[in-house]
Amino acid sequence: MKDIRKKIKRQTELLGLIFSGKKIDIPEAAYHFKCEQITIKRDLSELRANGIDIHSSGKKGIVIDNSLTKEQIQDLLFSYFSSAVNKQYDKALRLLVSKQKEKSIPIITTLQKGMEENKKVIIDYQRNESKNSYKCEIDPIMFFQSSGKWRLLARDEEILKQFLVDKISSAELTKKKFHKIPKEEIDQLFEGSFRSWIGSEKHKVKLRFYPPWVKRIKPNQMMETQVITENEDSSIDLEMTVNSLSEVAGWIVSRGKGVEVIEPKTLRDEVIKLAGETLANYNKRGNKVTA
């Protein structure tokens, strides 16, 4: 099993080098991946058998003549993630491939190499909906999936941030090393993550759920720190520690009737504010909204 994962990883990273515009021949590829030339030749043969028109062409080195289909890219990255980070993804992967297409291969493989070798990566990142991107040098820490999208946890100028992978238009591996974050610290960052935000803040919240939400919430493990208490009126109280009140507030408003904030007051105020802003979208058009 280890050899199969190693092979899948090597073949995908080889494709990543080619799609990123790197000129590489069989001897160079063998040196790069620390294997025999015959191994690279077998890789090319197996990739061709899987419908990828890849071959070695004289002075051009290893080339791919035809574009890959969406399905081919998704299959490649699905196998790569399974071999490299041992996680399974579906919707998030499809969204990434739909936006970045073949570029998703060199982006993902370059970031993964940076994580494994503790090397900084230069990325072009598109902020919000702006067409302009900015270049920054990051320490890639790990991939994770949240709210149906691939995200990258990384340090940018010593500040931990998360980047949406589908907004990264290019990635270039550097030779600069960075200090790896201990696993214990990463676990602490994720401990209070309610949806997608990861940070060092800690907020204790207490929510009350009434029927029909009781049946939906009670069996679910939403957070590691959660404690559920049953009340005499058939409601339940959910207590947990989170690192972002704004995300919890947005989630509560989207649930509608049957969810009440008990504490803290700042969360209650945020929910009221968001709910009021939502109603205002309809009131300003002259629609009468009743409770």
Reported CATH class of domain 1-66: mainly alpha
Which pLDDT band, with edges at 50, 70 and 90, does 283 fall under?
confident
Residue 141 has pLDDT above 80, yes or no: yes
Q: What is the pLDDT of residue 210?
A: 94
Res 289: pLDDT: 53
CATH class of domain segment(s) 187-283:
alpha beta
Burial class (CB in 10 A: 0-12, 13-18, 19+), 59: exposed
Is residue 2's pLDDT more than 80? no
**Dihedral over alpha carbons 144, 173, 22, 18 (to 10 degrees):** -10
Region(s) of the chain under CATH 1.10.10.10: 1-66
- Per-residue pLDDT, averaged over 29-39, amounts to 96
69: Cα separation from own chain's centroid:
22
User: What's the pLDDT score for residue 195?
Assistant: 65
Q: Where in the chain is the domain with CATH 3.30.70?
A: 187-283
Give per-residue pLDDT as tens, 205-250.
999 999 989 988 887 777 877 899 999 999 999 999 988 898 899 9
Residues 17, 24: Cα–Cα separation, whole Å = 8
Please, what's the b/e burial string for 251-280 (b: 16 or more CB within 10 A of its CB; e: otherwise)? ebbeeeeebebeeeeebbebbeebeeeeee
- Which residues make up the CATH 2.30.30 domain(s) of the chain? 85-180
Give the per-residue pLDDT at 290: 55
CATH class of the domain comprising 85-180 = mainly beta
The number of CA neighbours under 13 Å toward the Cβ of 31 is 5
Give the DSSP letter string of the chain: -HHHHHHHHHHHHHHHHHHTT----HHHHHHHTTS-HHHHHHHHHHHHHTT--EEEEGGGEEEE-SPPPHHHHHHHHHHHHHHHT----SHHHHHHHHHHGGGHHHHHHHHHHHHHHTEEEEEEEE-TT-S-EEEEEEEEEEEEEETTEEEEEEEETTEEEEEEGGGEEEEEEEEEE-PPPPHHHHHHHHHT-SSS---S--EEEEEEE-TTHHHHHTT----TT-EEEE-TTS-EEEEEEES-HHHHHHHHHHH-TTEEEEE-HHHHHHHHHHHHHHHHHHHTTT-----
Range from 102-116, 147-161, 188-202 carrying the lowest mean pLDDT: 188-202
Encode pLDDT of 173-186 as tens digits. 999 999 988 888 88
Using 50, 70 and 90 to split pLDDT, how confident is the model at 32? Answer: very high
Number of other CB atoms surrounding residue 132 within 10 Å: 7
Confidence at 87, pLDDT banded by 50, 70, 90: low
pLDDT of residue 147: 73
pLDDT at 206: 96
